[in-house]
Structure 1
Amino acid sequence: MNLSATILLAFGMSMDAFAASIGKGATLHKPRFSEALRTGLIFGAIETLTPLIGWALGMLASQFVLEWNHWIAFTLLVFLGGRMVIEGVRNDIDEDETPVRRHGFWLLVTTAIATSLDAMAVGVGLAFLQVNILTTALAIGCATFIMSTLGIMVGRYIGPLLGKRAEILGGVVLIGIGAQIMWNHFAG
């Protein structure tokens, strides 16, 4: 795979994380750049690891991974998105709550895993091609770091426009990403 194909693949793989990061940034109260970097690092690190895991699984048992990865991603994204929608509705009722300035580590890790399962599937496919998997995985991780960091900062400006509905919108975005994964799987 040449350099331009690797870059296109890397940024293509980072789009789910970018969309999720916008939603996460919109739910925070004036997130700082350090929070955007933290989120970008978490998403980027996980997005670097998942193609490597997929590549290793592709060497061992590609059929099982390809059969189930879309269901796993869909379930995680709908669960996380549903949780965000419920919290957004609860926050709409409870106005005395302290604004959230930072997302929990495990919430970000779970969201990053859910949005990076497509990269794992790509890793499975790359196991059958002559590619340098380390270079490709690092490119995907770097692109995701950039796009997730940018997503939090974009969300920072969208959040005040949406008010308390930002978390609901973020949840809907995650559910939409899950639905898109299922659509792409079944549409072939």
Structure 2
Amino acid sequence: MIVEAIKDDDNDNSTYLDNKELIILSIATSIDALAVGVTFAFLNIDIIPICVSIGVITFLVCFIGVLIGKKIGSVFKNYAQIIGGIILILIGLNILNEHTQIISNLFIF
């Protein structure tokens, strides 16, 4: 995301997804949903209210994101991609830290 935001391309064709990219993204999303579903199965909880709440919240957040993106997306496009990329890197480092404790051993907190 960060590299794409920094690249100075006048071609704006990168905003459109082709069928191959859509299929790959849908498979990745399905694998994520499968992992969450398996985790819920181990917890022995009522899955219907949780699925409904996850679906409603996801729909609302995505819908609001699309509305905001249509209004101010052209102005903040590159900045939003850079910030999004930095946030994803920080989330990845946090997950790595939680599972390996490598980063916390490097710094004294």
Q: What does residue range 39-54 of structure 1 map to in structure 2 within 5 Å?
A: none
1:177 corresponds to 2:91: yes
Q: TM-score, normalised by structure 1?
A: 0.37
Give the root-mean-square deviation of aligned CA atoms: 3.5
Identify the match of residue 4 of structure 2 among 48, 66, 87: 87
Shift of the alpha carbon at 1:148?
2.0
Q: What does residue range 118-133 of structure 1 map to in structure 2 within 5 Å?
A: 120-121=35-36, 123-124=38-39, 126-133=40-47
Structure 2: state its 5+ residue gaps: 102-109
User: Partner of 1:19 in structure 2?
Assistant: none
In the aligned structure 2, how far is the partner of 1:102 from the partner of 1:151? 17
Number of matched pairs: 98
Q: TM-score, normalised by structure 2?
A: 0.55
Q: What does residue range 108-123 of structure 1 map to in structure 2 within 5 Å?
A: 108-109=25-26, 112=29, 116=32, 120-121=35-36, 123=38
**Which stretches of structure 1, 4 residues or longer, exceed 6 Å deviation after superposition?**
none
Q: Which has the higher contact order (CA 8 A, sep 6+)?
A: 2
Q: Secondary structure at the match of 2:45?
A: coil
> What letter matches 1:89 in structure 2?
I
Per-residue displacement from partner, 1:35-94 (whole Å, max 9, x unpaired)? Answer: xxxxxxxxxxxxxxxxxxxxxxxxxxxxxxxxxxxxxxxxxxxxxxxxx2222222xx22
Identity between Structure 1 and Structure 2 (%)? 28
In the aligned structure 1, how far is the partner of 2:66 from the partner of 2:92? 20
